[in-house]
């Protein structure tokens, strides 16, 4: 493993021209509430598309549409060149779209290897003697986790005893092992400390290097900028920014994310009289250093 996995280049090493997933003008209404309006984005193999937005911007709705939990009410969702309307998570999974949710879809009281293979258990034997192939599952889980650089001494440990970062990594390793082509990560760094976030970001980059198309949902522009190839900012259900990495700097991204001019006005408003207000961009730059 080389140390530069977290530094995306402007020309990704993988064949990034293959578009796996595409949204055209996708919208979703719940009754008279338009949660999502006219969202277009494209996910390519070996690329990380970051979707940013504040609370209530429509990020969750977007994931739920791609993951098959909701059906979009307008626009087109295209997977591998074929237009689809998902009506269940299973349909989405069958097309190679794996979602790692915030709550990770791990069962805390179950052991690591049981969680790793949950829903896709390996079996041996046939008829009434068809049974779990425990030995092979433990072995594969161990191999896959080691490959991702996650070391857990005892695969019999319940997942609930692991740290948030470790759990996140297990969920990602599982998605990769089961042949996901598109990986949706729902705020994987939201509840983690700085170091653990770093570890998780590294696995996100590993998933990209393995040739997956990654959709990285976050509200942290610093994390997004570390790994992203493409940035989409959602604001009140609309796309307010859609730029490739080479066309935007972290400062611009942070600024856009924070609502740009709104934040400047806010910082002016909050500044004590007589004290020079610190511009939001400088704040952001300082924050970035803390982050590392």
Token code pair at residue 285: 């730059």
Closer to another protein by Cβ: residue 225 or 231: 225
CA–CA separation, 223 and 201 (whole Å): 8
Locus of tokens 């999974």: 93
CA–CA separation, 221 and 235 (whole Å): 14
CA–CA separation, 216 and 186 (whole Å): 7
Minimum distance, C-beta of residue 119 to another protein, in the bound complex (Å): 4
Do residues 233 and 50 touch, judged by C-beta distance below 8 A? no
Closer to another protein by Cβ: residue 198 or 259: 198
Minimum distance, C-beta of residue 25 to another protein, in the bound complex (Å): 28
Minimum distance, C-beta of residue 225 to another protein, in the bound complex (Å): 11
Closer to another protein by Cβ: residue 120 or 265: 120
Q: Smallest Cα–Cα separation from 57: which of 233, 194, 227?
A: 233
CA–CA separation, 32 and 15 (whole Å): 42
| 3-state SS class at 120 | coil
Minimum distance, C-beta of residue 159 to another protein, in the bound complex (Å): 9
CA–CA separation, 93 and 116 (whole Å): 16
| 3-state SS class at 125 | coil
Closer to another protein by Cβ: residue 1 or 265: 1
Angle of helix 164-177 versus helix 134-147 axis, rounded to 10: 110
Minimum distance, C-beta of residue 252 to another protein, in the bound complex (Å): 19
Minimum distance, C-beta of residue 244 to another protein, in the bound complex (Å): 19
Binding site for another protein (CB under 8 A): 1, 3-7, 89-90, 93, 99, 101, 103-110, 114, 117-121, 123, 130-132, 134, 149-154, 156, 161, 198-199, 202, 226, 289, 292
Closer to another protein by Cβ: residue 85 or 130: 130
Closer to another protein by Cβ: residue 145 or 239: 145
């Amino acid at each position: 493993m080389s140390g530069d996995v977290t530094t995306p280049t402007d020309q990704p090493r993988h064949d990034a021209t293959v578009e796996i997933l595409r949204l055209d003008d996708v919208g979703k209404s719940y009754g008279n509430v338009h949660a999502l309006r006219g969202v277009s984005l494209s996910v390519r193999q070996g690329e990380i598309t970051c979707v940013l937005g504040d609370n209530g911007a429509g990020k969750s709705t977007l994931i739920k549409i791609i993951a098959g939990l909701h059906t979009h009410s307008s626009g087109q969702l295209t997977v591998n060149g074929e237009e689809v309307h998902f009506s269940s998570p299973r349909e989405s999974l069958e097309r190679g779209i794996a979602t790692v949710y915030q709550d990770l879809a791990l069962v805390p009281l179950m052991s690591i290897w049981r969680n790793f293979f949950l829903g896709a258990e390996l079996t041996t034997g046939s008829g009434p003697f068809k049974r779990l192939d425990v030995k092979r599952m433990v072995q594969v889980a161990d191999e896959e986790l080691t490959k991702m650089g996650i070391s857990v001494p005892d695969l019999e440990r319940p997942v609930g005893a692991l740290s948030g970062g470790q759990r996140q990594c297990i969920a990602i390793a599982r998605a990769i092992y089961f042949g996901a082509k598109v990986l949706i990560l729902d705020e994987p760094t939201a509840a983690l400390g700085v170091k653990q976030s770093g570890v998780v970001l590294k696995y996100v980059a590993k998933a990209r290097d393995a040739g997956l198309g990654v959709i990285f949902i976050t509200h942290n522009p610093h994390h997004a900028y570390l790994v992203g190839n493409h940035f989409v900012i959602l604001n009140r259900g609309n796309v307010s920014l859609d730029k490739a990495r080479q066309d935007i700097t972290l400062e611009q991204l942070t600024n856009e994310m924070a609502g740009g001019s709104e934040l400047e006005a806010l910082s002016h408003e909050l500044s004590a009289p007589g004290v020079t207000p610190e511009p939001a961009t400088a704040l952001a730059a300082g924050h970035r250093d803390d982050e590392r």
